[in-house]
Chains A and B, each alone.
Chain A
């Protein structure tokens, strides 16, 4: 048989019913582009989750103090004591020191910050010199804390870029002293950081972190000068909270050790914290693995939905082809009488379904590739015309950036052609099985 002729003939027959062919193509098209869209959206969501987790550092093990539930006020005195101890830190350092690249104790609290009558709220962070490297903080001017600052308990601080701009809109912050009214202390600014994008929350384990209002001081200085107990004025009544360390971040030298180290951390911290429920361990690597599993399941789920829509498209093809075969029974009879073999008839009808599904597949791929653009456009429109609505959408949804999964293109195309062939096969087979004489009599 002459393939070119068969294809031409197929296209010609399809053009005879343009509307019908168009609708059939639409079925496949929607199926194919939904495969690409759904996979792209799924990939976008999970890639973002993964990125957030990676920001925490895949090599890190993070232990945080959490305020136990129900311990808000002991005996009505409004005081609470919980969380990681310096003793915990020392033991972790002693026992795990060899497998750790860094181990950083962190103390943090929201505090009022003042400079020459300008008052704002900042986050006071007590830490060591390693903190900057770990959190990828870069200095704009001056320097970050060093080991000496901690040793000497010096009253030095480093400001986040945005906070510095707020307190020193016109003057140079370096060398000036900021005032902490809660503690009646002055700290000399020795460095200002470059802006650092906030990290998003990861699941329920770790809150998002905004670096823009941070003030970093040596943790030893905090311990000596501010102390562990902090009084806050909440709704007119004072509340005391005693916490030695808010967080210990460990960076493991070798990625393969992360899970072992985290197991050891649990053992070292021991039952006391476990029972008190005042410590939580976050292992980004573990979250990463979970995210990968979730992502896989998500993909499977999305794939399933897409497969269903392709199936519907396929049924559309089959429906149309069955109608076509009935309609063209006479033609089939004529062709058989003129010497067409059964397989020639099968080929003729199969070519038509393949043309339909290939065209649907190609256009579907094009529309699929437009997915990220469509998202951008929709977001742009929303921001421009309904910013109020846009703000109401949860961040996780608002910021989804679909990522085209490259393999989804050949997969979608392959599936569409396969669907075309599979659903075209039965009508074509029916056509070929027609008795030539019966077919010739058909009116």
Chain B
């Protein structure tokens, strides 16, 4: 079995003026290639901190974190940037598109930081836009798009460097259930194509679509089981949507 990521006793402490916050307090688990993991837990339990670390935006205070074969704990800032540019696709709750760029330009951004934009890359950007259903909107600006459309641009952007790891921090947090469904089916598709996905979420509907659920509390892993074993409470609307997509309800 190959691993997309291995997390070994990772800790993250923030030293504030008066107190020490243990955002992660010894987290250990592996993410095999092709897995689809949902990280769930109460607010402040350390989900985002963990995801940022997997995304090489942050470094653990202690412990070891490897992506593929590479130990990222000891990497320099530039090396971490290079890993983000080539291996990781980010999707954020607040979309985080660059406002002054058009849809297609936003999708291109990660390519600059790999040092090349060829004509075939351009073509790829268009194909990705088409895949997320925005081929009509290539030259629109983010503020001319709906939230769901913006999130689809963000997903297309996260895929442009053909990452082997997709990380999403509450990607559907700002979306209604119908748009959520559209985004989730995109994730399903990407996962079925073999991409590893880690998604942070509060919503049972989202958790239920993953293969595996990691529950966190106060910076430690509370449980780690296949999503089929979780007792998700799923709204009727979502159930119908799931049924339409051939997802068995738990």
Measured CB to CB, the residues of A under 8 A from B are: 1-2, 5, 12-13, 16, 330-331, 333-344, 436-437, 440
Q: Which of A333, A339, A342, A344 has the most CB of B within 10 A?
A: A339
Closest to A335 in B: B109
Determine whether the beta carbon of B96 is less than 8 Å from that of A339.
Answer: no
Determine whether the beta carbon of B115 is less than 8 Å from that of A339.
Answer: no
CB distance from A104 to the nearest CB of B (A): 79
When chains A and B are docked, how far (Å) is the Cα of A336 from the Cα of B88? 12
Could you say which of A12, A330, A341, A436 contacts B57, with CB atoms under 8 Å apart? A436
B residues within 8 A CB of A340?
Answer: 81, 85, 112-113
Whether A341 contacts B113 in the complex (CB less than 8 A), given A437-B57, A437-B58, comes out as: yes
A residues within 8 A CB of B84?
Answer: 336-339
Whether A5 contacts B112 in the complex (CB less than 8 A), given A339-B86, A341-B81, A342-B78, comes out as: yes
Q: Can you show 21 pairs from A to B with CB atoms below 8 A apart? A: A1-B115, A5-B117, A13-B100, A334-B98, A335-B113, A337-B84, A338-B90, A339-B88, A339-B113, A339-B114, A340-B85, A340-B113, A341-B81, A341-B113, A342-B77, A344-B112, A344-B113, A436-B57, A437-B52, A437-B57, A440-B96
CB distance from B121 to the nearest CB of A (A): 11
Could you say which of B77, B97, B161 contacts A341, with CB atoms under 8 Å apart? B77
Asked whether any CB of chain A lies closer than 8 Å to the CB of B157, the reply is yes
B residues within 8 A CB of A16?
Answer: 100
Closest to A338 in B: B110
Chain B stretch 54-83: residues in CB contact (< 8 A) with chain A? 55, 57-58, 77-78, 81-82
CB distance from A62 to the nearest CB of B (A): 72
- Ranked nearest first, the 3 interchain pairs of A and B with the lowest CB-CB distance are A339-B85, A339-B113, A341-B81
Could you say which of B96, B112, B113, B117 contacts A330, with CB atoms under 8 Å apart? B96
B residues within 8 A CB of A2?
Answer: 112, 115-117
A residues within 8 A CB of B52?
Answer: 437
When chains A and B are docked, how far (Å) is the Cα of A338 from the Cα of B90? 7
Whether A337 contacts B86 in the complex (CB less than 8 A), given A13-B100, A16-B100, comes out as: no
Asked whether any CB of chain A lies closer than 8 Å to the CB of B92, the reply is yes
When chains A and B are docked, how far (Å) is the Cα of A214 from the Cα of B235? 116
B residues within 8 A CB of A333?
Answer: 96
Whether A1 contacts B112 in the complex (CB less than 8 A), given A337-B57, A338-B157, A437-B52, comes out as: yes
- Chain B 18-41 near chain A by CB (<8 Å), digits 1 or 0: 000000000000000000000000
When chains A and B are docked, how far (Å) is the Cα of A248 from the Cα of B45? 103
When chains A and B are docked, how far (Å) is the Cα of A365 from the Cα of B97? 39
Could you say which of A1, A12, A337 contacts B55, with CB atoms under 8 Å apart? A337
B residues within 8 A CB of A12?
Answer: 100
CB distance from B112 to the nearest CB of A (A): 6
When chains A and B are docked, how far (Å) is the Cα of A337 from the Cα of B90? 8
Q: Which of A12, A331, A338 has the most CB of B within 10 A?
A: A338
Whether A338 contacts B109 in the complex (CB less than 8 A), given A331-B98, A437-B58, comes out as: yes
A residues within 8 A CB of B90?
Answer: 337-338
A residues within 8 A CB of B81?
Answer: 336, 339-342, 344
CB distance from A17 to the nearest CB of B (A): 11
Determine whether the beta carbon of A338 is less than 8 Å from that of B113.
Answer: yes
CB distance from B67 to the nearest CB of A (A): 14
Closest to A6 in B: B112
A residues within 8 A CB of B97?
Answer: 334
B residues within 8 A CB of A334?
Answer: 96-98, 109
When chains A and B are docked, how far (Å) is the Cα of A385 from the Cα of B81? 68
B residues within 8 A CB of A343?
Answer: 78
When chains A and B are docked, how far (Å) is the Cα of A341 from the Cα of B117? 17
When chains A and B are docked, how far (Å) is the Cα of A333 from the Cα of B94? 13
A residues within 8 A CB of B116?
Answer: 2
B residues within 8 A CB of A336?
Answer: 57, 81, 84
A residues within 8 A CB of B82?
Answer: 339, 341
Closest to B55 in A: A337
When chains A and B are docked, how far (Å) is the Cα of A336 from the Cα of B96? 12
When chains A and B are docked, how far (Å) is the Cα of A338 from the Cα of B86? 9
When chains A and B are docked, how far (Å) is the Cα of A191 from the Cα of B109? 88
B residues within 8 A CB of A335?
Answer: 98, 109, 113
When chains A and B are docked, how far (Å) is the Cα of A335 from the Cα of B98? 9
When chains A and B are docked, how far (Å) is the Cα of A5 from the Cα of B110? 13
When chains A and B are docked, how far (Å) is the Cα of A224 from the Cα of B190? 120
When chains A and B are docked, how far (Å) is the Cα of A2 from the Cα of B84? 18
CB distance from A327 to the nearest CB of B (A): 11
B residues within 8 A CB of A337?
Answer: 55, 57, 84, 90, 96
Closest to A341 in B: B81
When chains A and B are docked, how far (Å) is the Cα of A94 from the Cα of B162? 100
Whether A341 contacts B78 in the complex (CB less than 8 A), given A5-B117, A331-B98, A436-B57, comes out as: yes
Determine whether the beta carbon of A338 is less than 8 Å from that of B85.
Answer: yes
When chains A and B are docked, how far (Å) is the Cα of A272 from the Cα of B161? 97
Q: Which of B81, B109, B116, B157 has the most CB of A within 10 A?
A: B81
